Amino acid sequence: MGKSVLLIEDEPNIVEAISFILSRDGWKVSTHANGQTALARIMETQPDVIILDVMLPGASGYDILSSLRSEPKTRELPVLVLTAHGQDGNREMAEEMGASRFMTKPFSNVDMLEAVRSLVVS
């Protein structure tokens, strides 16, 4: 069984770092950088986990998360919300909207790997 993650992030350095961390752990990593077309990409790739940045061009990560949670097909899809804004209000909003996990930038490699692993049932 291949584990797949879709990383929706527009910052190239973050994309490179997360892709490296997860690929090295055996994950199949796909990336996407546009919020406006992210839902179509999710449906196309059908990942096991999504890592979703909050600030994206075209649509916010919160908009995407809301759409995912309103659809029966994606309602239970694990989503790790990633943001540079780690205030409690952001965490609460993400959790209320149905985020599976919440992580702030910068993050440690170990924390990222543990968070993504925790979202997939073996």
pTM over 0.85: yes
Q: What is the pLDDT of residue 65?
A: 98
Q: What does pLDDT average to over the chain?
A: 94
Cα dist. 91→47, 57, 94 in Å? 23, 21, 5
For the cut 60, the answer to whether the pLDDT of residue 122 exceeds it is no
Q: What is the pLDDT of residue 89?
A: 82
What's the mean pLDDT in 91-119?
94
Beta-bridge partner residues of 80: 51, 101
Average of per-residue pLDDT across 82-106: 89
Q: How many CB atoms lie within 10 A of CB 16?
A: 12
Q: pLDDT tens, 1-30?
A: 469 999 999 999 999 999 999 999 999 999
| SS3 category, 110 | helix
How high is the pLDDT of residue 44? 96
Name the phi and psi angles at 115, rounded to 5: -65, -45
Express each pLDDT in 30-48 by its tens digit.
999 999 999 999 999 999 9
